[in-house]
Amino acid sequence: MGLASIRVEQLRCLGSATLALAPRLTLIQGPNGSGKTSLLESIFLAGRGRSFRTRLTERLISRDTDYLRVFAETVDPTHRIGFEYRREGSYAARLDGRDVESLAELPTAFFVEVIDPDIHRLVEGGPAERRRWLDWGVFHVEHSFLPHWLRFSRALRQRNAALKAGQDPRVWESELAVHGAAVARLRAEWLESLRPYWEQAVMRLSDLNVQMGYAQGWSQERTLEEALEEGRSRDRERGSTLSGPHRADIQLRLNGAAAKDVLSRGQQKLVSAALVLALLCRLRTQQERAPTLLLDDPAAELDPQRLSGLVELVKELDCQLVITSLAPDLKLFGNPERVFHVEQGQLQEL
């Protein structure tokens, strides 16, 4: 389900731009601050309904305007995606001419992933970063995951509201426990199936024996229902639920220490890229259609040897690539089928 074309209006420095992508390799070249990454953001927005640079979509809207729009068309199969976001916080998304009920529908039409210079946040950042990475994989292989997650999230909001209001939270605990346990189980099963791909990717990219573990968000010695009961008094004091899959984390350790505390920025980037590539390699075993992978300035902060390892792993994915670069003749991943130059928000095909 590659991307054939995208049109973007009023996104950051891009007033209006249309990009026709090659089936395999598209290169977007230009100086810093020219709009290269903004073009990648628009592609990511079409598949995820959000940016990979900020959680606040209103920050993407160009100055002196109150909206942004993205229109995209995929191939194999063909889907039409439309997305509009307004500064006051409202949005509308359409898929094949109909309004979508949830942004979770967009990835079913267009599967996109990104490796950017801030990818190190998967290692350095908080548990929420790693939970999003984990859930993105589970979502694509286990159709029951999203319903369980939505029902768990609703029960969590209601229990937290009851705790804050001094009301009895027990009415929500059965729902919370059933669906929370299902979320944790599906995550653990997915992570175990991913482990061989992760171990291979991290060694090939970094030569570091980084260990990956899963903390489900409550004691392994208790059921979630038991953990909620035991922690009820504490939760009342805090006004929030402190046990459950919303507290889960992917633990990355090197020689017994947290990876974020001992790895350099470049090493964190390699380990984080290994997480993304392992996920894509694992998904490719179950999906015939290749993803679209966005690489934002892939040479940044990597020495030639590590960059070569990244290039080899990416090539093995056999997917649609969209790459940005300062250099006009980047051929690390082969000869680009299409090359675009962007400067001051203006796009031109070379």
Domain boundaries along the sequence of the chain = 1-111+291-301+322-350
Alpha carbon separation from 279 to 44, 140, 143, 165 (Å, rounded): 17, 10, 17, 41
The residue whose two tokens read 């670069």 is 325
Cα–Cα dist 322/42, whole Å: 12
What pLDDT, on the 0 to 100 scale, is given for residue 65?
94
Task: Scan for tokens 């249309």, then name that residue.
Answer: 18
pLDDT of 289: 66
Q: The CATH number of 1-111+291-301+322-350 is which of 3.30.420.40, 3.30.750.24, 3.40.920.10, 3.40.50.300? A: 3.40.50.300
pLDDT at 303: 80
> Helices in the chain by DSSP H: which ranges?
36-48, 106-109, 121-124, 127-141, 145-164, 173-206, 224-230, 232-238, 259-262, 265-284, 304-317
DSSP 290: P
* Residue 90: how many other CB atoms lie within 10 Å: 9
Nearest residue to 47 via CA among 116, 132, 113, 133: 113
Whether the full predicted model's pTM is greater than 0.75, yes or no, is yes
Output the tens digit of pLDDT for each of the chain's 350 residues.
Answer: 689 999 999 999 999 999 999 999 999 999 999 999 999 999 999 999 999 999 889 999 999 899 999 999 999 889 999 999 999 888 899 999 999 988 888 888 899 999 999 999 999 999 999 999 999 999 988 989 999 999 999 999 999 999 999 999 999 999 999 999 999 999 999 999 999 999 999 999 999 999 999 999 999 999 999 999 999 999 999 999 999 999 999 999 999 999 999 999 889 999 999 999 999 999 888 766 678 999 999 887 778 888 888 889 999 888 999 999 988 777 888 899 999 999 998 999 98
Which neighbouring-strand residues pair with 347? 342
What's residue 140's pLDDT?
87
Q: Can you tell me which residue has the tokens 């056999």?
A: 318
pLDDT score for 326? 87
Q: For position 97, what pLDDT does the model report?
A: 93
For position 61, what pLDDT does the model report?
A: 95
